[in-house]
A and B are shown apart, each in its own frame.
Chain A
Amino acid sequence: EIVMTQSPATLSVSPGERVTLSCRASQSVSSNLAWYQQKPGQAPRLLIYDASDRATGIPARFSGSGSGTDFTLTISSLEPEDFAVYYCQQRSNWPRTFGQGTKLEI
């Protein structure tokens, strides 16, 4: 099983800041990595697929990078609605696995 490790677990930030979230895979997943956003009481939403491609309707302030084992999600300028939990997920191998999440808080 590929273990996905996200850091940090929690990040205290302010609106307007630039934020970088990290995700590391225990073995290479090539570019087969997705990022999701989950707000309280809501289902997850796909943000980024294939490590760097934005999903439909996702604002340009969200960007992803990386390949192999190390990945980042960057939010260029935080908006109030971006405070949420972010998960990475690999689709390279079975079982599909998620990171434990990074919570962005004010």
Chain B
Amino acid sequence: EVQLLESGGGLVQPGGSLRLSCVASGFNYGGYAMAWVRQAPGKGLEWVSSISMSADATYYSDSVKGRFTISRDNSKTTVYLQMSSLRAEDTALYYCAKTSGRGGDFDYWGQGTLVTVSS
């Protein structure tokens, strides 16, 4: 059974930093790209970032480029999202998602970790 377990969310002040983690299990982790997708309270889904299976390629939405960094440790089956210079508009539930073998759609999702940016 595929499982994705996010952690690291919390309350942070504007301008602060936070690192999210997502531990994966139940599939060949090193064989798939991974992604982060967020959902602001009461809003729709927004893709944030993706990382290739070997971490040689990373992609970001314009809204987070230069502030967020995605990385992965295949030995720990974990993907990370380092967030800095956080803004109020980054407040959201952050989902970790497994990218399908087709590349670009997301066939398994975690339950999310909530990030609140507020003073």
| Interface set of A (CB-CB < 8 Å, partner B) | 1, 32, 34, 36, 38, 43-46, 49-50, 55-56, 87, 89, 91-92, 94-101
Contacts and interface: CB of A to CB of B under 8 A. Distances in A.
Interface stretch (B19-27, B74-82, B101-109): B101-109
A9 B44 CA distance: 11
Q: Which secondary structure characterizes the binding site on chain B?
A: strand
A84 to B, nearest CB: 13
Contacts of A45: 109
A45 B35 CA distance: 15
From B61, B105, B109, name the one whose CB has the most chain A CB atoms within 10 angstroms: B105
B84 to A, nearest CB: 20
Q: Describe A's contact surface by its main secondary structure.
A: loop
A38 B47 CA distance: 15
Contacts, number: 60
Given A43-B109, A49-B100, A100-B44, 7 more contacts: A46-B100, A46-B105, A46-B107, A56-B107, A94-B59, A95-B62, A96-B50
B47 A96 contact: yes
A66 to B, nearest CB: 15
A95 B47 contact: yes
A76 B61 CA distance: 35
Interface string B87-104: 000000001000010111
A74 B106 CA distance: 20
Nearest to A6: B44
A20 B59 CA distance: 33
Interface string B33-73: 00101000000111100100000000111100000000000
Nearest to A94: B59
